[in-house]
Amino acid sequence: MARRPVDLDAVREIALKFPGVEESTTRGAFALKAGGKLFTCQPVHKSAEPGSLAVRIDLDQRAALLAEAPDVYYVTDHYVRYPMVLVRMSRITRDALLDLLSGAYRFVNSKKKSKPR
């Protein structure tokens, strides 16, 4: 049986099942936010490969993903400073996408709010 491709429709289908997730935009590109906080989007920086998805995750988790599956996950110099990983949607499975988006959802909802100085 052929594997269903992962595209933005698949990302929507999975992510919109999480409580409080809404479709939005960031810099004019597709984005999903949880409780108003960005957790995944189409990368807008030109260094990202076409057909990629940017997903917010913990830096330790990102390092593990990059080591485990560099054909699927990557970062560019622009994104290295941010708690994000870039995903080649043509290479990720739906199950792996579900796991990744679940982790991103937990990550953005667990971040402590910093108080202004």
The domains of the chain, with CATH numbers, are 8-109 (3.90.1150.30)
C-alpha dihedral sign at 65, 66, 72, 78: positive
Return phi, psi of residue 104, to 5°.
-65, -40
Both structure tokens of 56: 């917010």
Do 57 and 83 touch, CB atoms closer than 8 A?
yes
Both structure tokens of 67: 């080591």
Residue range 81-111, pLDDT digits in tens: 999 999 999 999 999 999 999 999 999 998 6
Q: Which residues pair with 74 in a beta bridge?
A: 86
At position 114, the amino acid (one-letter code) is S
Model pTM? 0.89
Is residue 113 over pLDDT 90? no
pLDDT for residue 5: 75
